[in-house]
């Protein structure tokens, strides 16, 4: 677990960042930003899946990121663990493909980076439910933004 306090540059308020990183064979990273606003705690939740281990394939993060404006998906799409299509042994003994979640047309996202024909994005909308991805249960991401990769040509 990692915690970091920062002072918001515009408000002077304290922001607490909490990174709950995985243990053992897990790869789920939960990132929470907490701040006190008018006596109430606001929480912004974000999530990504990654492990620097031989049992997971792919490049999970871009070299650098730059936040852009919010955009809606023009068509249904999927977010993946890494910027490539992996259809076999993406996560050994856990998931054959590297698809994390599927999203409906209009789902809101922010592009953070572009590499080799893929966008690294932050998906703000919840993913579709009742899909068969084995990396994560989409029901667990209904109030959590997801970091992942989307193929540029599919946007």
In 3D space, the residue among 9, 7, 16, 12 whose CA is nearest the CA of residue 35 turns out to be: 16
Q: Which residue has the higher pLDDT, 59 or 72?
A: 72
Asked if residue 96 and residue 67 are part of one domain, the reply reads yes
pLDDT score of 148: 94
Asked if residue 77 and residue 13 are part of one domain, the reply reads no
* Structural domain boundaries, residue 11: 2-48
Number of domains making up the chain: 2
Q: How far apart are CA 80 and CA 132, in angstroms?
A: 14
Asked if residue 122 and residue 94 are part of one domain, the reply reads yes
Share of the chain above pLDDT 70, in %: 96
Asked if residue 14 and residue 40 are part of one domain, the reply reads yes
Asked if residue 72 and residue 131 are part of one domain, the reply reads yes
Q: What is the CA radius of gyration of the chain?
A: 16
Asked if residue 105 and residue 36 are part of one domain, the reply reads no
- Tell me 140's DSSP state: G
Asked if residue 83 and residue 25 are part of one domain, the reply reads no
Average pLDDT of span 134-151: 92
Asked if residue 124 and residue 64 are part of one domain, the reply reads yes
Residue 148: is it exposed, middle or buried by C-beta count within 10 angstroms (0-12/13-18/19+)?
buried
| pLDDT at residue 49 is higher than 70 | yes
Select the highest-mean-pLDDT range: 64-68, 83-87, 129-133, 145-149. Answer: 145-149
Out of 33, 48, 63, pick the residue that ends a domain.
Answer: 48
Q: What angle do CA 48, 26, 147 make, to 5 degrees?
A: 5
How many Cβ atoms sit within 10 Å of the Cβ of residue 81?
28
For residue 8, give both structure tokens. Answer: 């918001």
DSSP string, 7-26: E-TTT--EEEEEEE---TT-
């Amino acid at each position: 677990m990692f915690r970091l306090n920062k002072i918001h540059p515009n408000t002077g308020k304290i922001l607490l960042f909490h990174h709950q990183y995985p243990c053992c064979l897990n790869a789920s990273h939960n990132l929470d930003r907490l701040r006190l606003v008018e006596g109430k705690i606001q929480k912004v939740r974000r999530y990504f899946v990654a492990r620097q281990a031989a049992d997971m394939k792919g490049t999970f993060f871009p070299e650098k990121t730059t936040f852009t404006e919010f955009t809606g998906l023009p068509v249904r799409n999927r977010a993946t663990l890494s910027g490539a299509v992996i259809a076999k042994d993406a996560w050994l003994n856990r998931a054959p493909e590297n698809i994390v979640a599927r999203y409906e047309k209009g789902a809101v996202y922010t592009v953070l980076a572009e590499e080799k024909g893929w966008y690294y994005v932050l998906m703000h909308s919840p993913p579709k439910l009742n899909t068969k991805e084995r990396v994560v249960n989409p029901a667990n991401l209904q109030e959590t933004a997801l970091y992942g990769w989307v193929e540029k040509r599919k946007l």
